[in-house]
Structure 1
Amino acid sequence: MNRLSVLALALLCALPAFAQRAALPTTDAEARALAATITPTDLRRHLTVLSADDMEGRETGEPGQKKAAAYLQSQLEDLGFPAVGENDGYYQTIKFSRQKWEDVSMVLNGKELRHLWDFYSAPSQNNSRDQTVIDEITFLGYGIDDGTYSDYREHDLRGKSILIFSGEPRNAKGNFLLTGTKDPSDWSLNDGQKLRLARERGVETVFVIDPSFKQNVQEVRKETLDGRMRMAEQTEAERREANSVYLTPEVTRRLLGDQYRKVIKARKKIEKSGKSRPVTVPTDIVLTQRKEVTELIGENVLGFLEGTDPVLKEEILVVSAHYDHIGRRGDAIFNGADDNGSGTSTVLEIAEAFVQAKREGKGPRRSVLFLWVSGEEKGLLGSEYYSTHPVFPLDQTIADINVDMVGRVDEKHADNPYYIYVIGSDRLSSELHQINETVNKDFTQLELDYTYNAEDDPNRYYYRSDHYNFARNGIPSIFFFNGSHADYHRDTDTIEKIDFEKMARIGHLVFFNAWQLANQDKRIEVDVK
């Protein structure tokens, strides 16, 4: 081998995987043919449906959003995507709620106690109910029913209120009774388990003696003051826990009065014999837990294409777009043709191109999840929910390509519609940035504008679309965006203003990025801190 050959080989080895474009299942010509299936005609067909008046602006939780989800599902079914969502379907239900107390009060022996000072009760952990009078309470140890230890046994507690200690019992040696070691069981770690058991046994209210009251009350204080939508594991209709109130030890003594010593003796008996004995105490309690609830229930839509490589198929590329919009205001329908009917339609067409590749025996080596999220307009809620409840492991998710508003031309580019703003490509991976630069140069020749990628961008677009919930979890993410325009979040964002030729060209760029990421030998690296 001569000196020039050695030098050439060294340079080749120094090139990153994306530049070598190794192990792709198609030639450039075949990849171009697949991208060419993303056409202005097909994009218009999808967007005509998604931005129609009968979609009512696709507001999350409203009928229009449900119709849009059904349309996406029908397209996935027609393309032959498997059902990987809930209940053997294509959806992941997102659940968020905003809950606050209208009135939370507790009167003990005629004296009103102070919420967040003498007692606390979290609105998200309780059913709303009006004034309840409690004239007796049963001390029931720790409120546990387990194979090795039970506070309940055969006691009939239907319609009753109980008083329990937090945590779980220990023996004289300091070991937990349920585990026999210094390590606690789930009963210590999960109050919800105790509250669900109480509800199953017919208990109406659980009063918990909290020795760490000052520390634990802080989280409830935050919830009480927080007016944001918060993630919910269940809807109000699905709630299966008894109502709960947490007490300071001092208030507990006042509640029990001269029966306090009996309760302490009962606790010591548990520690000594491992057996619980209930103590019923007369009380004078008036409790009100009335709350205001705003719930948001939507659906993320999942289209999963399994990879062809026996090893690499365990890695997942996500291609995402939000399909919700802001609904209607009176008679005005906010159709959201650009925001984000354009991205939704584009991802549908890219999904079809990948399916076509697989039908031709040239499917991607890695698996690809086409993810349409709702709740974006409410604060990126759908992608937040997916990132905390991933259908596929986040540590196996190699990247997210997010498409949000790609059908219009902003004022800056009025003379050249063939541009796209690129956001986030270099925030975590310099390789992702270079892949986009390379495939654009080789295939699409769009103007790549990085204006909104600047760290000091006053618009903060990097934090305002669904890619961010992947990026904040360390997953390289790239966001394609056409910029704002006069019709942004107005009822004039309608389909006749969409540039479908431009939209198709951007769809090609997204496809080539996805194709490269799904097929190159090495997973892209996170190399930016």
Structure 2
Amino acid sequence: MNKHFLSTSIALLLCLGACAQNQTPAQNQTAVKFSASINKANAYKHLSVLASDEYEGRETGKKGAWMAADYIKNYFKSIGLKGPVQGDYFQPIGMVTYQLNQPVFTIGGQAKVYNRDFVVPASNVSLEGFTFNTKEVIFAGYGLDTEGYNDYKNIDVAGKVIVIFASGNPSQQSEAAPADRAARRKAMTAKREKIQYLANHKALAVIQIDPSLDSLNEETKLMNAGSGQLTLKSEENTARMAKMKTFPTININTATANELLKAAGTTVEALQQKISSTGQPASQVIKIALSGSAKKEEVKVRAENVLGFLEGSDPVLKKEILVITGHYDHIGLTTSGTDKVNNGADDDGSGTTGVLLIADAFTKAKAAGKGSKRSILFMTVVGEEKGLLGSEWYSEHPVFPLEHTITNLNIDMIGRVDKEHEDKPDYIYIIGSDMLSSDLNAAGINANEQYMKMNLDMKYNNRTDPNQFYYRSDHYNFAKHGIPVIFYFNGVHEDYHQPGDEVSKIKFDLLARRAQLVYYTAWNLVNRPARPVVDKNEDGTPKK
């Protein structure tokens, strides 16, 4: 083929594609040149580290996440990005957890062992905590007040400690574990209603006999202690915690319950059989000394967003910022199975890797004198798996004014293929692109047409999607402030939030192509004359 004709044709095509974004053919050729480092080999180099077993699933507030943060910081520094947080790359997050502090439960003056004989549900403890002492308790069966059966008949529970079975009913001695989500939700609702009944009738506390505690694993112990329930430290959250309405609750295992019931000359099994055979309550006063106490304490958690800044070249436009994000945290370790590491290679090691690759491409362009006109903030955030906490913190404590932020491009899972696209894997889901800005939506589509020609699947690009993906990743904390966003996503797969989400299952050629799409979209956004126009309200209605 005639080389002159070929080069002329390519230039013409690039010009036609560039018109809508005011890009010259030379600018487009430059973009292609510096995209070369966004390749599968470099992707593997980063992801094989970030999603390794050594990083222990990168759970927020744990060693693996700190290791990932250090890796990203060192990489940002090595390629020449600046630390924009008073010269540093870390934006510390005011993150705390509330943990139980030395819960106590005694029977007849003898202290029981926490997380063996009893547990205290952390959600039922306020910051002030609770304490009670009593010389008698009321056993009230299954804690039910229903038509034809009432464990509380002729009983005034006010100011009393009540002992009930945590689950089950008068017609059967125990209930099987709920088999599905709906059944579990129904069972939890029933338990809450029983406790709420006692709270409404001003009982002092409740002791729940719970056979599921007869064998406690480490995961359950941590859950009971409140470990992992992270929240942002703020006046609003502190006030909310202070106003929480709780009711003193202690759950005991069967052996501990039998020790308590010995004072009445009975056992758990005997009482269940009596109620089941007669269909009548076996409520009674038991003379025995009990005491209990628990208090929550606030524990500071180390967590940080990692920021790398590339200043724009245009004296005027450089004050405007494009933010490119991916969350580097995952869900950490599990206590079950032989493989205990939730590596999070796709979720979101792949997105984090994409941010690193794109950052490298743009810094190489700047080093060659082809830097972007606008500035770019490359930010890997933490706490996404805990409720989008890292991006929420940034949106409330921005390093650069939000009014100068033109767009957020968020990358969350770009390394796998979902079942719907197994036959045609060259795709990416685009979410949020037209929610606030028709202009941004057009820019994203145009970048794809110019450079990649991938299938941009808009299936989830709406607010009524049952999966609610628009609200489930870090872009939303920008969108809620009126900043237009695009969320790049490959969809869920069978290893989602499972130990099987490993590096060996990543399609590195696809990861690189998807990262290139984000790069080209970013290239156009940071070099075009005008920022994307926000022409829609948060509810999708046109701005007037």
Q: One fold, TM greater than 0.5?
A: yes
SS of the residue 2:94 aligns to: strand
SS of the residue 2:435 aligns to: coil
Does residue 326 of the first structure (1) align with residue 331 of the second (2)? yes
SS of the residue 2:93 aligns to: strand
Match of 2:79 in 1: 79
Indicate the RMSD between aligned Cα atoms, in angstroms: 3.0
Match of 1:399 in 2: 407
Deviation at 1:296, TM superposition (A): 3.6
Runs of 4+ in structure 1 over 3 Å off: 17-20, 23-26, 98-103, 128-131, 227-230, 292-296
Does residue 376 of the first structure (1) align with residue 390 of the second (2)? no
Using a 3 Å threshold, how does the CA distance of structure 1 residues 230 and 19 change in structure 2: closer, same or farther? Answer: farther
Using a 3 Å threshold, how does the CA distance of structure 1 residues 48 and 100 change in structure 2: closer, same or farther? Answer: closer
Instruction: Identify the match of residue 505 of structure 2 among 497, 503, 519.
Output: 497
Does residue 301 of the first structure (1) align with residue 306 of the second (2)? yes
Match of 1:96 in 2: 95
Using a 3 Å threshold, how does the CA distance of structure 1 residues 358 and 130 change in structure 2: closer, same or farther? Answer: farther
Structure 2 residue identity aligned to 1:32: V
SS of the residue 2:298 aligns to: strand
For structure 1, list consecutive stretches of 5 or more residues without a partner in the other structure. Answer: 1-16, 104-121, 132-226, 246-287
Deviation at 1:319, TM superposition (A): 0.3
Structure 2 residue identity aligned to 1:64: G
Does residue 516 of the first structure (1) align with residue 521 of the second (2)? no
C-alpha separation between the residues in 2 aligned to 1:74 and 1:367?
A: 20
Match of 1:337 in 2: 345
Deviation at 1:510, TM superposition (A): 0.2
C-alpha separation between the residues in 2 aligned to 1:460 and 1:402?
A: 16
Q: For the Cα contact (< 8 Å) 1:18–1:435, is it kept in 2?
A: no
SS of the residue 1:454 aligns to: coil
Deviation at 1:98, TM superposition (A): 4.3
Percent identity between the two aligned chains: 47
SS of the residue 1:350 aligns to: helix
* Larger mean Cα displacement after TM superposition, 318-327 or 448-457: 448-457
Deviation at 1:34, TM superposition (A): 1.2
Matching of residues 414-453 of structure 1 within 5 Å? 414-453=422-461
Q: For the Cα contact (< 8 Å) 1:101–1:123, is it kept in 2?
A: no
Match of 2:534 in 1: 526
Deviation at 1:97, TM superposition (A): 2.6
C-alpha separation between the residues in 1 aligned to 2:490 and 2:397?
A: 30
Q: For the Cα contact (< 8 Å) 2:18–2:24, is it kept in 1?
A: no
Structure 2 residue identity aligned to 1:291: K
Deviation at 1:297, TM superposition (A): 2.8
C-alpha separation between the residues in 1 aligned to 2:534 and 2:453?
A: 26
Deviation at 1:329, TM superposition (A): 1.2
Matching of residues 185-334 of structure 1 within 5 Å? 229-232=230-233, 290-293=295-298, 295-330=300-335, 332-334=340-342
Structure 2 residue identity aligned to 1:454: N
C-alpha separation between the residues in 2 aligned to 1:307 and 1:300?
A: 22
SS of the residue 1:475 aligns to: coil
Deviations 1:308-361 (A, max 9, x none): 111110011000000000000126000000000000001100000000110111
Deviation at 1:101, TM superposition (A): 8.9
Structure 2 residue identity aligned to 1:484: V
SS of the residue 1:349 aligns to: helix
C-alpha separation between the residues in 1 aligned to 2:443 and 2:19?
A: 8
Deviations 1:239-265 (A, max 9, x none): 9xxxx99xxxxxxxxxxxxxxxxxxxx
Match of 2:69 in 1: 69
Structure 2 residue identity aligned to 1:528: K
Deviation at 1:27, TM superposition (A): 2.3
SS of the residue 1:332 aligns to: coil
Deviation at 1:292, TM superposition (A): 3.6
TM-score in terms of structure 1 length: 0.62
Match of 1:389 in 2: 397
C-alpha separation between the residues in 2 aligned to 1:347 and 1:505?
A: 13
C-alpha separation between the residues in 2 aligned to 1:339 and 1:96?
A: 22
